[in-house]
Each structure stands twice: as structure tokens, then as C-alpha cells.
Amino acid sequence: MFRRNFLKNSIYGSFSASTIISLSNKNNPVVKSVPRIISTWKHGINANKIAWKKLNDGEGGLTAVEYGVRDSENDPNERSVGYGGLPDRDGKVTLDACIMNSKNDCGSVSFLENIKNPISVARLVMEKTPHVMLSGKGAYDFAIENGFKSENLLTDQSKKDWENWLNKSEYKPFINIENHDTISMLLIDSDHNLFGACTTSGAAWKMHGRVGDSPIIGAGLFLDNDIGAAAATGLGEAVIRTAGSAMVVECMRNGMSPMEACKEVVNRISNLHKNRPEWEYLQVGFIALSKTGDYAGYSLKKGFNFALTDDKNDSVLIDSLYKI
């Protein structure tokens, strides 16, 4: 319990590889930094557990991150991911996702309707096509051709919420919507190979056809197996304007720690948006993982948290540092 509270309440919100050590031999502590998984928000706790089991069962990092975030996609109580996600202003649930492996192979789908697990479709785009992204009806047709089932993703609760929204028809994204949002997951395995996944149903009440940062390689997710990985959550338009996740990785390439890199890009976003009308409801958070297993989470405003799983931490939730 002490360790859990320490992790959650640390003023740093970022821990180097040297922080997690084995105390079996106090005279010769052994650094244990990998394997390690981090993911955004509270629903990352269970997602991490599933991914950790897949990794320990020998199924590999890519399958681990895929099935980890699928847990959120399948949960109707997660209102910003997959089945049960809040719809656009036309009452349609549209999904975005992307996935990357340690070789920088990547796959993505955007504006996908009636398919519960877009992350798995994104993986097939990576493995079965010469493309990186499929969108809309093309992504849907590809999913059906590969055995996915078409199903209604609008739950009764989400439909009710949409009908209530129609009474005002005001578009205003929620900050830290019920303490969760897009799920992004980063994983480093025992060989120091990196993997990542990101999936969302996007902003509630968005215009039909809107796509955010989550399926965009370099915005919602990016990794370089020689350097590190980063992923985003929050208002996608702000992340896209700065190529957020790619910039976090580039900052690490230039010598910054994961925490320093996340702070740098959040500062860029803050400077770019502080005089824009969306500033009132703007929230952006990043998680980052270095090639050595160091990690961090940082956000623009208070309320962002992320889940950590490794040999010493069974899916603990960490409150990130924030700018304002």
C-alpha cells in the first residue's frame, strides 16, 4: 500500500529506470525497468492487466497492446471508446484507432462505423495491406471482408444522452470526461522493443465525419524503436496541430527525458491555444516511454492520470503532473 501511495502521490509523476529496483540484495540492487506497460486513464488499469498477461503468455508486445485496449473497446461503460461510445451530432458512433510495432510498421482506421474493435482492424490494415490508413466505408468493407461482424454500437444509455443533448445542440467537449477519454497504451518488452496502440470513439457530439488525433500516426501515437514512444489523449485538434506524439519522441531523441519531452510539447500546445476560443475546455495529456524503460505522464490541466504495470507494480494508477 505504501508503494501504491508513493507512486500515485509523487511530486514528479515520472520515474526513471533506477527508481524501480529489486531489494532482494540490498548491497547490490538490480534495476528492473522492463518489461513495462503504461496506458491512459483509469480504464488503463484493467487494460494493462490483460496486456501484461498476453505478454507473459508469450504472445508478443503487439498482441498485448491490441488486446489490452480491446478491453476498453468492449466495455459499454467506457463512453469515449468503442461500444457504448458517445455518438456524433447525427447519433452515429464512429471509431478511430491505430497501432504500431517495433519495426515502425503501422496500421490505422478512421471514421469506422458498426465494428466493435477498430484496433484489430487497424492491425490487419498494417499486416494485410500496403497502406497505413483506411477510412469510412472502405475501412468498414475491409473489416467485413476479414470476418468482423457488423453491429449497432449505440447503447441505450448513449442514445439517451444524445437525445438529451439534442435539446441544446451545444458543442463543448468535456475536460477529463468522467476521468477517462481515449485509451492509449505503450509497451516495452524484455528485449527493449516498443509497441503502441490508441483507440477512441472521438469527441461526443462532433460533426459527422470528424476525425481526431487518435488514428493519425505522429499525432495520437508515435514510436521509434531506437528512441522511445509517446501517445496522446484529450482534444485531438490541438494534438494534430503540433504533431504531438511525434514531437515528444523527437524531444527524447534530442536528449530530453520522457517528462521533459511531454512538458515541452504541452507547453507548445499551451502557447498555441491560450488565446483561442477552445482554451476554456482544452485538455491534452501525453504519456511517454523511453528505450530504457523510463516513463512519464504530463497534461495541460489537472485531472489526467495513467496506469503503470511492471514486475513491481500490478497496474497502479498515477496522477500526472500538469501545467495549470
The one catalytic residue among 40, 94, 155, 182? 182
Verify whether residue 182 is a known catalytic residue: yes
Cα-based torsion angle of the residue sequence 317, 50, 214, 296 in order, rounded to the nearest 10 degrees: 30
87 preceded by a cis bond (ω within 30 of 0): no
Closest CA to 183 of 101, 85, 62: 85
Opening angle at CA 310, ends 301 and 121, nearest 5:
75
Query: Residue 283 and residue 173: Cα distance in Å, rounded?
Result: 9
Residues labelled as active-site residues: 182
